[in-house]
Amino acid sequence: MSNLLQQAHNHRTSGQYGQAEALYRALLEQDENCAEACWGLGHTLMNEGDFETCVEFFRRASELEPTNLLFLLDLAKFLTMLGEYEEARPLFIRIIEIGGNERIVSEAKKQLSYL
């Protein structure tokens, strides 16, 4: 992980969303296909209340790394939060089908049982 990406994550997790957003956007200017920067920016924008834009970045991260269970789970959970159950359901199913990380698969199964 790059130093800049780690700094962005640190700012985000400490609630410094403006700094995090600036760093994630700088990273995406350098490499528009950095899935982890898209994912981090999605979380940052969500915490800032920009739900419309954040879902775009969660989707982009999942499209760039379609087997990344964490990216898929976060997108599916966010869609569920928005009440977009029909869009979230296949993502939870996909996580279960991909398998691997038992914690994430278990979370997907739990979330799916609520839909």
Please tell me whether residues 80 and 61 are part of one structural domain. Answer: no
Please tell me whether residues 17 and 61 are part of one structural domain. Answer: yes
- Return the residue matching tokens 């760039």: 64
Question: 41-84, pLDDT tens digit by residue?
Answer: 999 999 999 998 999 999 999 999 999 999 999 999 999 999 99
Please tell me whether residues 6 and 56 are part of one structural domain. Answer: yes
Please tell me whether residues 53 and 108 are part of one structural domain. Answer: no
CB 24 within 8 A of CB 13: no
Q: Is the pLDDT of residue 108 over 90?
A: yes
Which CATH number characterizes residue 2's domain?
Answer: 1.25.40.10
Model pTM? 0.91
Measure the CA dihedral 32/71/81/41, to 10°: -30
Range of the domain at 98: 66-115
Give the pLDDT of residue 1: 59
Please tell me whether residues 92 and 115 are part of one structural domain. Answer: yes
